[in-house]
Structure 1
Amino acid sequence: MSDQRIEGAFDQVEGKVKKGLGELTGDTKLKVEGVAKEAGGRAKAAYGRVIDGLDGIADKAHPDIREPAKKGLDFARNKPLLTTGILAGAAILLGALGRKR
Structure 2
Amino acid sequence: MNDDQLSGEGRDITGKVKETAGNVTGNSSLQGEGVAGQLSGKAQKAYGAATEAFSGGVGPMVEQAKGFARKRPFAAAALAGVVGLAVLNTLRGKR
Question: Which TM class, normalised by the smaller chain length?
Answer: 0.5 to 0.7
Larger Rg: 2
Superposed displacement of residue 47, structure 1: 0.1
Q: What is the TM-score of this pair, normalised by structure 2?
A: 0.59
Q: Secondary structure at the match of 1:46?
A: helix
Q: Secondary structure at the match of 1:10?
A: helix
Could you list the runs of 4 or more consecutive aligned residues of structure 1 that deviate by over 6 angstroms after TM superposition?
none
Aligned pairs for 1:72-87 (under 5 A) are none
For each residue in 1:22-60, what CA deviation from the matched residue of structure 2 results, as whole angstroms up to 9, or x when unmatched?
000000000000000000000000000000001132796
Please, which runs of 5 or more residues in structure 1 have no aligned partner? Answer: 61-101
1:32 paired with 2:32, answer: yes
Aligned match of 2:17: 17
Q: What is the TM-score of this pair, normalised by structure 1?
A: 0.56
CA distance in 2, matches of 1:47, 1:10: 14
Please, which runs of 5 or more residues in structure 2 have no aligned partner? Answer: 61-95
